Structure 1
């Protein structure tokens, strides 16, 4: 049905093979038959957790992100390990980064955050029934946690204090769920 839009791989090479990311450079045939190059990043996928405390506050993180040289406000998230179930990853990442565990987990959505240059996807989970515990940060990981209301998060999105795409989308999902406009399966 979408054949008139599809590009077909002719040749592929690995342009960069890093410890975390792999950059591919492919030659593709366009729908009109012309050839061009496509460079893209292979990513193993990740999870995003929307951790909602019993009082309705949301558990957030502040973390420095080197490529943008600034501290960002973010929802907890992390890379899926090879062969790891996404929900198991979400449970693991929430505990490692925040020390919290949850008893009620619901899948929210899958998003593709950089479709022009990466195959990365993020599975978003809502976590409730939270209990505080001990943080288990990875070596070289520095995170500060804090709580905020959904209304504060919406204000921060509007004012540009929250610009991280996974956190913006998670905030909008949370607002829709809170209002009853959207429901989870």
Structure 2
């Protein structure tokens, strides 16, 4: 138990949608007072840093309604009930990009917005990519354009604020660090 732990007194479900659930928890604070916490419950997600045999990063350009603009991102998707993250990663890679991979390695898992949401993203590195002749189709409400870029081009997309989401920034910085470590060996 952490010294600043908040004990839940009661929890009220406000909304349950296709992807998220909103609840309001009344909590007892460490000083004995109470407070309310608005919490988004999310099933979790995967993100895939997919690298082609010629060392290009596969990205998807898609419109994101919450920001009311298009973003360039690494492929990603939410976990289905009971699905292991690595299975979700393989499925999402195929559905969004038309690729399969020979090697899938977990880079790290991280919370996206721990102040109000419990979404946990599992970031994978996919190598040994092969274009599939008949890939699974993407979700019917998902429209993406595939991009293949170098690390330098990805950094340019960051500077242009076309890459502007945390998971993709994290993945690109991971690659930059990996490259920097290689040059210092």
TM class by shorter chain equals over 0.9
Q: Report the TM-score when normalising by structure 2.
A: 0.93
* Corresponding residue of 2:6: 7
Q: Deviations over 1:11-64 (max 9, x none)?
A: 101011112211010100111111010011100000000000111110000010
SS in 1 for 2:131: coil
Give 1:95-106 correspondences, 5 Å limit. 95-106=94-105
| 1:85 maps onto 2:84 in alignment | yes
Q: Deviations over 1:65-85 (max 9, x none)?
A: 111111100000000101101
Aligned residues: 180
Deviates more, 1:127-136 or 1:58-67: 127-136
Shift of 1:164: 0.9
Which consecutive residues of structure 1, in runs of 5 or more, have no partner in the other structure? none
More strand by percentage = 2
Give 1:1-185 correspondences, 5 Å limit. 2-3=2-3, 5-133=4-132, 134-135=134-135, 136-180=137-181
SS in 1 for 2:30: coil
Which consecutive residues of structure 2, in runs of 5 or more, have no partner in the other structure? none
Deviates more, 1:133-142 or 1:102-111: 133-142
Shift of 1:111: 1.1
SS in 1 for 2:66: helix
Shift of 1:142: 0.4
Q: Deviations over 1:122-146 (max 9, x none)?
A: 0000001001124511111101001
Q: Which 4+ residue blocks in structure 1 deviate beyond 6 angstroms?
A: none
SS in 2 for 1:64: strand
SS in 2 for 1:157: helix
Deviates more, 1:77-86 or 1:16-25: 16-25
SS in 1 for 2:114: coil
Deviates more, 1:48-57 or 1:15-24: 15-24
